[in-house]
Structure 1
Amino acid sequence: MSNEPSTAAEPLRICIAGAGAIGGTLAVRLAAAGHHVSVLARGKTLQAIRENGLTLHDLHGVTHARPAADDRPGFGVQDLILVCAKSQDMAGLLPQLQPLIGERTVVVPTNNGVPWWYFHREGGRFDGEQVRAVDPEGALARAVPLDNLIGSVLFITAEVTAPGVIRSVNPHLIVLGEPSGAMSERLLRVRAAIEAAGIEARATDRIRDKLWTKIIANISTNPLSVITHGTLEQLYGQPELREVVTQVMREALLVASSYGARVDIDPLTFVQLGEAMGPFRTSMLQDLERGRPLELAAIGDAVLELAQRYAVPMPITRAVVSLARFRGLGAQQQHAARAA
């Protein structure tokens, strides 16, 4: 086992809601730093954690942790909840978290794409409105008090290689920010706890800028990976795929700028950084291969919805998202047929 970072501050009570690749990575790192970590999981993952704990292979080496694990939120009120489920699973998960949330509990959703809280205290012309693609009835906004939320953008590539075993070969980075832009005490406290766990953590007063950086990376690669089965190295490196990626990026950058976001990475730098990540399969491609629903509502449909509000055309993006949806539904049907 590698030498582990430790936190000098008082340990926090932290619940990881969703123990997939990202949730498992965070659970291991935070548990190794001395925090009281519990995990909401289910199925084979829950069984594996109960029997053998979690094992993470990352740049720190091989780290093992045995967090408390259950499929019901019986862990008591938490200081911090990291919600690591897919966007399409939020409607089922968020209401379950209510017994864990106290007045001072900080809830940090980590899912990809446009978050349901995007317009909460946004300060623009759509302040307080819903993103209907991800929260059509406002159920997510009602499930967790919006004032308990801190936004996050994760730049972590990870993959579950077996139940309870995660592999992550790139550096970990998480950017945190209040929806209002305030540099609050609770924001800095959460940032410090995550940083002390061996994960680079940054606090920002412009979280939506970083959201758009990740949104652009996701929408330009995830749906296309479903169509092509290409890795990041192939999507960014092969000329015929790189051209499509770049066109989608340009369309998404126009949407970001319409909302006043400042994206400080140009398409060429995006491509260079993406290709350097190597033969990594996107999370959406991993879901396709397992016959799972694709995270297209938050990664694709929500961006198209935001584009419509400012009449920004996205013809290439719309076509790629539609093709990915067709491919994903077909994969789910095939998987269901095999399982029957």
Structure 2
Amino acid sequence: MNICIAGAGAIGCTLAARLAKSGQTVNVLARGTTLEAIQKKGIHLTDIDGEHKVTVNASDSAKELGPQDIIFICTKAPALPAMLKLITPMLHEKTIVIPVVNGIPWWYFQGIEGRFSGDSIQAIDPEGSVSKLLPHTHLIGCVVFITAFRNSPGVVTSTNPHLIVLGEINHQMSERLEQVRTVIEDAGIEARATDNIRDQIWTKVAANITSNPLSVVTKGTLEQLYADDRLKPLVRRMLDEVLLIAAAYGARIRFDPHTFMELGAGMGAVKTSMLQDYEAGQPLELDAIGYSVLELANKVDIPMIATQNLLDLTQFIAAQPQTQKQL
């Protein structure tokens, strides 16, 4: 199969390295210094299984890479519309597109029947502008439980086990879903197929919304956010809020709050992706991780006061000039 990793950040490089190591043909769509580094030195991943150095075909031209059978979109949410436009030359009729993106997905109300079926989420898909870029028949939903840190372009460290959960957005099991799951499993990444990907999305959203914004405010690690007695009450309040919204949309999160907090603390001294972005001066995924959830909460008339306040504080901090951030 021809597999493309569109976006060569920490998660993208992790997937590219593991897939290439398993013998798959891996193409990487990248640009700038990251592209140059991968073309010259390949990708270097250090994870719990050891060190993996691989050579991949890398380019900044989707047309040059040609048609792909699977495309993993590994970009931050703010860059998603631009990336969806870029991958167009790589699509054929049966191309499977798997967005590896944090937060509520733009396709959340597509593919299933329900009260809000066909609605767009304005925080991430204003007037359906993102949905128009890709027919939803290409999509397989994905939730990634991988913590990774980019040391330098093409060089990544990941210290926890890898898990990817996959599901058709119409909640049907399918042959292509199992095919993708097997490809990922063969790459040494635990891969699960589910008949309700939205349950898994809410599990990851609960983790993201209770940790990412607060990490920017406090500069704390996952262990600190979920274990420090000064932070735990706020984290627990936000967790209760997001669990209520998830339940309002029929989602089932399998972890009770106490276990959820323990699992978060058990991730160790790891910086969230949002804190890494903040320190690098990159745009934050506040819309996908946070404000989209508030929009869904408003749809069902349930307030999220603690979450709203923290998101607004995080947004204020992120908007300050870089010189002021350093003071």
Answer yes or no: same fold by TM over 0.5. yes
1:175-254 equivalences in 2 (<5 Å): 175-254=165-244
Contact 1:152 1:177 in 2 (8 A): yes
SS in 2 for 1:251: helix
Shift in CA distance, 240/34, structure 1 to aligned 2, threshold 3 Å = same
| Long gaps (5+) in structure 2 | none
| Deviation digits for residues 51-73 of structure 1 (CA, Å, limit 9, x no counterpart) | 10100000110001111111110
Instruction: Name which of 20, 37, 56 aligns with 2:26.
Output: 37
* Matching residue of 1:53: 42
| Deviation digits for residues 5-50 of structure 1 (CA, Å, limit 9, x no counterpart) | xxxxxxx210000000000000000011111101111121111101
* Matching residue of 1:84: 74
Q: TM-score, normalised by structure 2?
A: 0.97
Asked if residue 161 in structure 1 is aligned to residue 151 in structure 2, the reply is yes
Residue identity opposite 1:115 in structure 2: P
Contact 1:291 1:335 in 2 (8 A): no
Partner Cα separation in structure 2 for residue 49 and residue 137 of structure 1: 37
Asked if residue 97 in structure 1 is aligned to residue 87 in structure 2, the reply is yes
Contact 1:232 1:280 in 2 (8 A): yes
SS in 2 for 1:132: coil
RMSD: 1.3
Instruction: Name which of 15, 18, 22 aligns with 2:4.
Output: 15
* Matching residue of 1:7: none
Partner Cα separation in structure 1 for residue 2 and residue 118 of structure 2: 30
* Matching residue of 2:14: 25
Partner Cα separation in structure 1 for residue 180 and residue 72 of structure 2: 11
1:257 positional shift: 0.5
* Matching residue of 1:274: 264
Count residues in correspondence.
325
4+ runs deviating over 2 angstroms = 335-338
Shift in CA distance, 136/336, structure 1 to aligned 2, threshold 3 Å = farther
| Deviation digits for residues 72-125 of structure 1 (CA, Å, limit 9, x no counterpart) | 102111110000000110111101111111111000001000000011113221
1:336 positional shift: 11
1:139 positional shift: 2.1
* Matching residue of 2:318: 328
1:300 positional shift: 0.5
- Percentage identity across paired residues of the two chains: 51
* Matching residue of 2:254: 264
SS in 1 for 2:166: strand
Moved more, 99-108 or 137-146: 137-146
SS in 2 for 1:240: coil
* Matching residue of 1:4: none
Partner Cα separation in structure 2 for residue 15 and residue 140 of structure 1: 20
Residue identity opposite 2:105 in structure 1: P
Contact 2:143 2:200 in 1 (8 A): yes
| Deviation digits for residues 133-189 of structure 1 (CA, Å, limit 9, x no counterpart) | 101032221111111000000000000011110000000000000010110100000
* Matching residue of 1:5: none
Contact 2:111 2:136 in 1 (8 A): no
Partner Cα separation in structure 1 for residue 203 and residue 82 of structure 2: 28
Q: TM-score, normalised by structure 1?
A: 0.94
1:130 positional shift: 0.5
* Matching residue of 2:118: 128
